[in-house]
Structure 1
Amino acid sequence: MAIYVDADACPVKSEVEKVGTRHGLQMFIVSNGGLRPSQNPLVETVIVPDGPDVADMWIAERAGQGDVVITGDIPLAARCVEAGAQVLKHNGEALTAANIGNVLATRDLMTDLRAADPFRQGGGRGFTKADRSRFLDALERTIRAAKRL
């Protein structure tokens, strides 16, 4: 069992390290660079070459049954769910076989809407303390459930 973090723009890397260390799990922090490596022996910082979705491909090729993946990237989440991994978004929302299809369809719809209206601005909300707290709780529950598999 391992934890894979899609680390580019991930606001919960330190939380993952704290919870993963408490459970003695190997963690892979995957990005295109620009991250300070952790001194924690359980954390491996993986720097992938620049390019579209290279970090996502690295994670998707390795994550499987019993692993936990942290990502906000919906296509990556879909691949990992299909491989049997437990997937969490940064706000603690679990992406599962039961909901990933709807989440992926919504993402695609929003992409189309933004493309149709170039003046459409953002609409997303910021990352809050409540999101961080929900993530910590969800990660703890997910790891415990994955250990039971």
Structure 2
Amino acid sequence: MIIWIDADAVPRAIKEMVFKAAQRTNTPVHLVANSYITIPDNPLFRFTLVDSGPDEADRRIEENVAEGHIVITADIPLAAKAVAKGCYVINPAGKEYTKENVGEHLATRDLMTNLRSAGMETGGPPALSRKNIEAFANILDRLLTRLINNG
């Protein structure tokens, strides 16, 4: 099992939470971004810098994930591709994407994109709240516990 982080858009508080959980469970973490990110000096953690450009980090993650890996991303198309490969996907706001719900999230995202291209102001996502961080921590802990116990 590997935890993959789409690191360009994942807030620092979430990354730090993942680092702590990974150290506790001895789980490798691979961060991918198109700008340099400082990570703790730990052999469990690896950072990959990809070319600048839209979706470069997403593409690298998609090429390397495998069934049973955990992917942390705010990018819904990447989430859909990872779920299709059998990954567990969590967004930084504490929502888990599954085979049952990722299609609906993707459709909503596409609708919002179309509305924005038509000139409608839709606003961005809300700021990360303490409740979001707690939800993320709970989902990550539950997933790690289940995956470790089921070996």
Same fold (TM over 0.5): yes
Counterparts of 1:100 and 1:115 in 2: how far apart (Å)? 22
1:114 paired residue among 95, 109, 116: 116
Question: 1:90-133: per-residue Cα shift (whole Å, max 9, x none)?
Answer: 01111000001111000000111111125x15153111111111
For normalisation by structure 1, the TM-score amounts to 0.93
Q: What's the RMSD between the two structures over aligned residues?
A: 1.3
The reply on whether 1:124 has 2:125 as its aligned counterpart is: yes
Question: 1:66-103: per-residue Cα shift (whole Å, max 9, x none)?
Answer: 11000000000011000000000101111000001111
Q: Runs ≥4 in structure 1, deviation > 3 angstroms?
A: none
Counterparts of 1:26 and 1:141 in 2: how far apart (Å)? 17
The count of corresponding residues between Structure 1 and Structure 2 is: 148
The 8 Å contact of residues 38 and 45 in structure 1, kept in 2 or not, is answered as: no
Unaligned runs of 5+ in 2: none
Aligned to 1:7: 7
Deviates more, 1:103-112 or 1:43-52: 43-52
Residues 1:121 and 1:63: Cα distance change in structure 2 (over 3 Å): same
Shift of 1:37: 3.0
For normalisation by structure 2, the TM-score amounts to 0.92
SS at match of 1:108: helix
Residues 1:20 and 1:58: Cα distance change in structure 2 (over 3 Å): same
Identity of aligned residues (%): 39
1:34 paired residue among 22, 36, 40: 36
Unaligned runs of 5+ in 1: none
1:61 paired residue among 46, 60, 63: 63
Matches within 5 A, 1:10-25: 10-11=10-11, 12-25=14-27
SS at match of 1:110: helix
